[in-house]
Amino acid sequence: MNRPYIICHMVTSLDGKVTGDFLSTPECADACEIYYDINRNLKSNGFICGRVTMEGSFTGGYYPDLSRYEPVHHDMDLKMDFILDDMSGFYAVAFDPKGKLGWESNKIIDPDVDPGYNGAQIIEVLTEQVDARYLGYLKSMEIPYIFAGKTEIDVEFALFKLKNIIGCETLLLEGGSIVNGFFQRADAIDELSLIVAPVVAEKDDKPLFADSALSNFEIVNAKIENNVVVLNYLKKGERASNNNVVIKWEDALTLDEAIKSEKSE
Ligand SMILES: NC(=O)c1ccc[n+]([C@@H]2O[C@H](COP(=O)([O-])OP(=O)(O)OC[C@H]3O[C@@H](n4cnc5c(N)ncnc54)[C@H](OP(=O)(O)O)[C@@H]3O)[C@@H](O)[C@H]2O)c1
């Protein structure tokens, strides 16, 4: 496989939504806790998020004054990606086609952020839509970037570069709905790790994939913990062709066992 193994790890509502106020309700707290716990324990080279999620979780809407930076003109016939000699081994990969994210450091450093993310080296995945001065800003901040597309990010090309230039073998895809949809349609999700909260979301909240194509998965694990269902699926046929299955729950119960044990308590 000439791209990293991709595990889409998400909290969902009972009706398959992944965005919205339900995520911050007390009824969703256990699901979020389990989500972060699994996130910390999955072996991967980092996580990928869409621009909106990165903004909401990490940059808080900060944006630099681009007039302070020299433009870096990129010629798409040349290799214009910017990679540091010394990169940390754990990456926060931002799918940010137009360069809208303002970072104040080249690593995720935020005491309020879950330790599973802290210290991750930021990588920007961009398209030709980006302002040349934004590249100057990223270089000045020592934030690596790769180009993958003209107007939309070509998921396959981005993943090819993340494997072959950066060396990523396994990455977590952690939302939101739009970026997940791009990956699903590119047939680039090998594994689903779904933490189902006992909550129904609201009408306008978005589903696991904002846009999707028909595809099949096989369930390989299910367990119930604190009223939350934890589900692990592999892309159909993946088990035979890929031995890079990362999740191994030592204490995992099958759904049948979990229901029996809940009943007997
Ligand atoms: N339930 C969970 O576990 C979970 C996890 C993470 C996030 N979330 C929630 O998800 C919400 C955000 O989700 P969202 O679906 O609105 O946004 P998103 O997927 O986080 O970000 C979407 C944006 O990313 C860029 N993008 C991503 N892939 C692209 C591609 N292949 N080509 C071009 N552009 C691409 C575009 O940026 P531009 O708009 O700049 O063009 C696009 O609008 C947040 O509210 C957060 O709370 C939930």
- pTM to 2 decimals? 0.91
Residues 147, 62 share a domain: yes
Structural domain of 18: 1-45+172-265
Q: Would you say the CB of residue 173 lies under 6 angstroms from ligand 1?
A: no
Q: Would you say the CB of residue 175 lies under 6 angstroms from ligand 1?
A: yes
Of 168, 190, 216, the domain-final residue: 168
Spatial separation of the C-alpha atoms in residues 258 and 253, rounded to whole Å? 6
- What is the structure's pLDDT at 250? 43
> Element (H or E) spanning 31, and its range?
helix 29-41
How do residues 49-97 score in pLDDT, each as one tens digit? 999 999 999 999 999 999 999 999 876 655 589 999 988 789 999 999 9
Please give the structure tokens belonging to residue 87. Answer: 């990169």
Angle among Cα 182, 183, 188 to the nearest 5 degrees reads 150
How many Å lie between the centroid of ligand 1 and the Cα of residue 178?
Answer: 5
Residues 158, 57 share a domain: yes
- CATH code of the domain covering residue 185: 3.40.430
Single-letter residue type at 215: S
CA torsion angle 177 178 180 183 (round to 10): 160
Q: In what order do the strands lie in the sheet with 191-196?
A: 145-147, 121-126, 91-95, 46-50, 170-173, 5-12, 191-196, 228-235, 217-225
Residue 19 CB-density burial (10 A; 0-12 exposed, 13-18 middle, 19+ buried): buried
How many Å lie between the centroid of ligand 1 and the Cα of residue 184?
Answer: 13
Instruction: Find all residues with CB under 8 Å of 223, minimum gap 6, and list them.
Output: 229, 230, 249, 251, 252, 253, 255, 258
Provide the pairing of β-strand 91-95 with 121-126: parallel
Of 168, 184, 201, the domain-final residue: 168
Residues 226, 120 share a domain: no
Q: Would you say the CB of residue 95 lies under 6 angstroms from ligand 1?
A: yes
CA–CA distances in Å: residue 64 to residues 12, 43, 58, 78, 211: 34, 34, 15, 27, 32
Residues 18, 57 share a domain: no
Residues 234, 178 share a domain: yes
To test the pocket of ligand 1, the residue of 18, 123, 147, 208 to mutate (highest count of ligand atoms within 8 Å of its CB) is 18
Q: Would you say the CB of residue 171 lies under 6 angstroms from ligand 1?
A: no
- What is the structure's pLDDT at 114? 77
> Element (H or E) spanning 46, and its range?
strand 46-50
Three-state SS letters, 147-211: ECCCCCCCHHHHHHHHHHHHCCCEEEECCCHHHHHHHHHCCCCCEEEEEECCCCCCCCCCECCCC
Residues of the chain with confidence (pLDDT) below 50: 240-254
- What is the structure's pLDDT at 247? 43
Provide the pairing of β-strand 191-196 with 228-235: antiparallel
To test the pocket of ligand 1, the residue of 7, 8, 19, 47 to mutate (highest count of ligand atoms within 8 Å of its CB) is 19
- What is the structure's pLDDT at 245? 44
Mean pLDDT over each residue of the chain, to the nearest integer: 90
- What is the structure's pLDDT at 264? 64
Q: Where are the alpha helices (DSSP H) in 63-141?
A: 132-140
Of 151, 168, 185, the domain-final residue: 168
Q: Would you say the CB of residue 210 lies under 6 angstroms from ligand 1?
A: yes
